[in-house]
Structure 1
């Protein structure tokens, strides 16, 4: 009697890999693209039509300005996943595992604090006082509409039929209470900070969220900026 050969056991399913959530400033990116386009247009025009040292000054100015403008407008971003957040600021890249994050603060700028006492500004999540005021006005209007019974459902039409639902009413029978359950109206930057805080609270005690804070200088930005600044200083000094 032959015994059946043992079948190889299937490997355990691997844990799902979560993509990074990316937080950037659309206004900063659009403004940066416009400034970069203008700088390139003027610089290339000076390179083509300039004479003498003008061409060298234009080239040095491009080497200095293009990475500098890109660093403050297009480059900043915050990447967050289940284990850590990566803050890409104009001249540095900071990686903070969730276990190393101590707190977040939103005042005139949005900042994250590490357990070691480090403070890092989130350049890609700017604070908009105007956006906060607009959100507060919208929240006041929504609260006033809910208190005044604005979600009273549908209105009767001219001939006794049912007209269109009033603003703020729900067609699924949930009523105004369900609308209020969506939470208060918040500015976009504050919403982003709320999401980062929620992710931190949920993952700060996870084993995969441990590690050390790392800070790396963005030499791809620093080197050309310094080189362009030195070249401009030399050219203007020579005349």
Structure 2
């Protein structure tokens, strides 16, 4: 079950965190922030009267939201628990409270209470999945072709020139990066769900440091637009 908005302190983890973030989200967020700040500061310096106030309100509203949805998301995992930092919430789930980790059109964790939490920092890329599937199919076809020529290759002085190349994934099908992250998390869940240190309650904290400034900017913008 999920605790109130003011969770009780969680015990210190017994292993170092693995941190997962979206590189493309960070790059896109930085680029968008540069554009927004540049336009906003320019309006503040060059604008007059009401324009300056509108620019200030827009900056107060937009900058926290862009930061929250691009730079802020992260997933921290160790042997005891999963900590999800989403745009507007921070969720801490001891592995003992995790029922499943699911991947479809989004990656999410399902608590034993039935509540689902999306992993914003680990977005699903259908394009990456298709690319990995094509590479895996080509690698499998290559292994099959080389297998058919094994006798001829191995017979060349018995030196094994027919051995697979190093660029073939010998461990099985190739995987998209975010799917590999989910595999890592499932492995941590499998090893930690029954550990005594991985028990406890799910805690949720709202990101008031994001919601507060954004709400203030929105209110100021509405007031400025209302008074014309």
Query: Do these two structures clear the TM 0.5 threshold for a shared fold by scoring above it?
Result: yes
2:77 equivalent in structure 1: 80
1:23 equivalent in structure 2: 20
Q: Does 1:149 align with 2:146?
A: yes
SS state at 1:18 partner: coil
Deviation, structure 1 residue 108: 0.6
Give the Cα separation in 2 of the matches to 1:50 and 1:39.
15
Deviation, structure 1 residue 236: 0.9
Residues 75 and 147 of structure 1: is their aligned pair in 2 closer, same or farther, counting only changes over 3 Å?
Answer: same
Deviation, structure 1 residue 184: 1.4
Q: Does 1:135 align with 2:110?
A: no
Give 1 or 2: higher helix fraction.
2
2:165 equivalent in structure 1: 169
Equivalent of 1:226, from 215, 221, 224? Answer: 215
Instruction: Identify unmatched segments of 5+ residues in structure 1.
Output: 1-15, 171-175
Give the Cα separation in 1 of the matches to 2:26 and 2:107.
18
Task: Flag the structure with larger Rg.
Answer: 1
Q: Does 1:201 align with 2:197?
A: no
Give the Cα separation in 1 of the matches to 2:215 and 2:165.
59
CA RMSD of aligned residues (A): 2.4
Deviation, structure 1 residue 180: 5.2
Give the Cα separation in 2 of the matches to 1:223 and 1:82.
33
TM-score computed with the length of structure 1 as normaliser = 0.82
Equivalent of 1:43, from 35, 40, 44? Answer: 40
Give the Cα separation in 2 of the matches to 1:52 and 1:144.
68
SS state at 1:182 partner: coil
Equivalent of 2:92, from 77, 92, 95? Answer: 95
Q: Deviations over 1:169-197 (max 9, x none)?
A: 25xxxxx9xx5542210011111111101
Q: How does 1:47-62 map onto structure 2 within 5 Å?
A: 47-62=44-59
Deviation, structure 1 residue 17: 4.6
Deviation, structure 1 residue 104: 1.2
Give the Cα separation in 2 of the matches to 1:118 and 1:188.
26
Give the Cα separation in 1 of the matches to 2:184 and 2:53.
48
Instruction: Identify unmatched segments of 5+ residues in structure 2.
Output: 1-12
Q: Does 1:121 align with 2:118?
A: yes
